[in-house]
Amino acid sequence: MDSATAPPAVSRQAWSVLAVSTLAFTVCFMVWMMFGVIGIPLKQQLGLNATEFGLLTAMPVLSGSLVRVPLGIWTDRFGGRNVMTLLMAVTVPAVWLMAYATQYWQFLVIGLFVGLAGGSFSVGTPYVARWFPQQRQGMAMGVYGAGNSGSAVNKFLAPVLLVAGGWALVPQVYAAILAGTVVLFWLFSAHDPRHLVASNVRFVDQLQALKDPRVLKYCQYYSIVFGGYVALALWMVQYYVGEYGLDIRVAALLAACFSLPGGVLRAIGGVLSDKYGAHKVTWWVMWVSWICLFLLSYPQTDFTIATVNGPKTFHLGLNVYSFTALMGVLGVAFAFGKASVFKYIGNDYPDNIGAISGIVGLAGGLGGFVLPILFGLLLDLTGVRSSAFMLLYGVVWVSLIWMYWTEVRRTDVMGAAAGRKA
């Protein structure tokens, strides 16, 4: 390869920053998704209905989403190393106190403080991106985003702790792990003053790009690929328990078949976005998601038809194996989509990644907050568990239509106009 076309070299310090930041985000995401498992015994202990359970699991997602914009901007101003360390340190006491809650309102309030861990995404994304050249930023942000696999780690670890010492042991162990991560992150991360925005740049200046309608479009995309991922990661364990009557440990293991690829493979999505472009990857992600959600939406159904030999009853519905396989494919699609959306941001807003990633991350997080509550509300109203997938199917339709009119059709029209001029 010619030296002029070779990608810029990446320093060892940049790789160290990426590795330790990804570890920190994985632990933060594990903590953020804690209610997805311990919420099941709490639901029985507190006598919650599906809507109340949805609200319980969604409270950490709410606070973790609302803090993303200021955290992204503070990262631009003060540096990712300082902001990430402080964020994790502040979250540790709240995680520990969770073990001593006894009333529903106490879990909701403490859950808001635990949710601060979810804001780590908007810190690490601009932090690691600035250590890499633009040609490698999709990969870097994808690798960092693979920390979403903390959701799968939660599904592996929390059931073991539940069996060993009850649900209260989970937040105690998680608090200790998070405290250790604070130390590791500070020791192996780094700070570069050149990555900070100019001191004369005002808060309102960083938000000027929000007038661009592209930002709203990226928010909508991310509300499904990330918001849908978070919502399903919180919802799937109890779905398996209720729909298929599985033990919580088996249910958590099968739910991880969605959470794990949905997190780990985000790095591959970043590489593909670097190679083929954010638009192509996102377009295919939406179509694959649309197909999977269409199949997942069909409820367990028995129907009877009249035959020449008398009435005959048939059953339609996904068994646990086909359901898990479809969820695995959906997880892969969401992983690629999360990376491709942030590749859009890296391309369009290289000097304002912190603020824009905070806004888009906020939209995705709010999707993760609202969706579990809507899942529970639909279940209480209809009694149909697959109504959760019906809702997501509609959201994907919106993304596909928006993408077609603003990107696919516009590209076709511009191409046709260029051909006529030629």
Three-state secondary structure call for residue 306: strand
> Quick one: average pLDDT of 246-273?
84
pLDDT tier for residue 204 given thresholds of 50, 70 and 90? low
Q: Mind listing the pLDDT tens digit for each residue in 30-62?
A: 998 898 888 889 988 999 888 898 899 889 988
Burial 259-282 (b: 16+ CB within 10 A, else e): bbbbbbbbbbbbbbbbeebbbebb
Provide the pLDDT for residue 104: 92
* Residue 315 confidence (pLDDT) above 60: yes
Helix (H) or strand (E) holding 303, with range, is strand 301-307
> Quick one: average pLDDT of 335-355?
79
> Quick one: average pLDDT of 248-277?
84
DSSP state of 269: H
Tokens found for residue 313: 């009853």
Could you give the angle at which helices 50-66 and 12-32 cross, rounded to 10 degrees?
Answer: 150
Gap between the Cα atoms of 345 and 174, Å rounded: 32
The number of angstroms, rounded, from the C-alpha of 396 to the middle of its chain's C-alpha atoms is 16
More confident residue, 299 or 288: 288
* Residue 113 confidence (pLDDT) above 60: yes
Q: Mind listing the pLDDT tens digit for each residue in 375-406?
A: 999 999 999 999 999 999 999 998 888 888 88
Q: Is 108 exposed, middle or buried (0-12, 13-18, 19+ CB in 10 A)?
A: middle
Gap between the Cα atoms of 336 and 146, Å rounded: 10
> Quick one: average pLDDT of 185-199?
78
DSSP state of 405: I
Averaged pLDDT score across all residues of the chain: 85
Q: Which of 115, 26, 122 is nearest to 62 (CA)?
A: 115
Query: In the chain, pLDDT over 70 holds for what percent of residues?
Result: 90
Which residues, at least 6 apart from 330, have a Cβ–Cβ distance to it below 8 Å?
A: 232, 258, 262, 288, 289, 292, 293, 296
Gap between the Cα atoms of 381 and 388, Å rounded: 12
Domains and CATH numbers, the chain: 14-196+205-421 (1.20.1250.20)
Q: Mind listing the pLDDT tens digit for each residue in 73-86?
A: 788 888 889 999 99
Cα–Cα distance list, 119 to 56, 61, 63, 67, 70 (Å): 18, 9, 8, 6, 9
pTM: 0.77
Q: Which of 286, 368, 282, 292 is nearest to 327 (CA)?
A: 292
> Quick one: average pLDDT of 160-186?
92
Is 127 in contact with 145 (CB distance < 8 Å)?
no
DSSP state of 208: G
Which residues, at least 6 apart from 16, have a Cβ–Cβ distance to it below 8 Å?
A: 188, 189, 190
* Residue 1 confidence (pLDDT) above 50: no
Is 141 in contact with 128 (CB distance < 8 Å)?
yes
The number of angstroms, rounded, from the C-alpha of 56 to the middle of its chain's C-alpha atoms is 18
Q: Mind listing the pLDDT tens digit for each residue in 221-233?
A: 888 998 898 899 8
pLDDT tier for residue 119 given thresholds of 50, 70 and 90? confident
* Residue 417 confidence (pLDDT) above 50: no
pLDDT tier for residue 411 given thresholds of 50, 70 and 90? low
pLDDT tier for residue 416 given thresholds of 50, 70 and 90? very low
The neighbouring-strand residues paired with 304 are 313
More confident residue, 306 or 346: 306
Q: What is the DSSP annotation of 341-380?
A: HHHHHHHH-TT-HHHHHHHHHHHHHHHHHHHHHHHHHHHH
Q: Which of 62, 172, 55 is nearest to 105 (CA)?
A: 55
